[in-house]
Amino acid sequence: MVKSKRFLVLIARKKGLRCRIRVDPNKFEDEGKRTNDLRGWFYARSTGAEKGFTMSSEEDIDKVLPLIAQSYNFARSELEES
């Protein structure tokens, strides 16, 4: 598996921003059940699990920031190990 700096992918859609994140499946917390499991397109060769969610309004930003932070922290810790 490849270690990657990428922790977030944004896809612009008509109904909002589709987001893909890479997380540690054993430590990932999603209390709001906003994410769904993905097969792994953007992070196919990377470690971790790929999750996806959609932001359709400004109010969603505060709700998804903890999810994005988990992805960032996972990618950062992975790079620090190498």
Q: Which pLDDT does position 81 carry in this prediction?
A: 80
pTM of the model: 0.89
Q: Which pLDDT does position 38 carry in this prediction?
A: 92
CA 58 to chain centre: 18
Q: By the 8 A CB rule, do 3 and 71 touch? A: no
DSSP label at residue 65: H
C-alpha dihedral, 56 to 11 to 6 to 28, nearest 10°: 40
Q: Which pLDDT does position 55 carry in this prediction?
A: 96
Q: Which pLDDT does position 43 carry in this prediction?
A: 80
Q: Which pLDDT does position 79 carry in this prediction?
A: 84
Q: Which pLDDT does position 80 carry in this prediction?
A: 84
Residues of the chain with pLDDT under 70: 1-3, 82
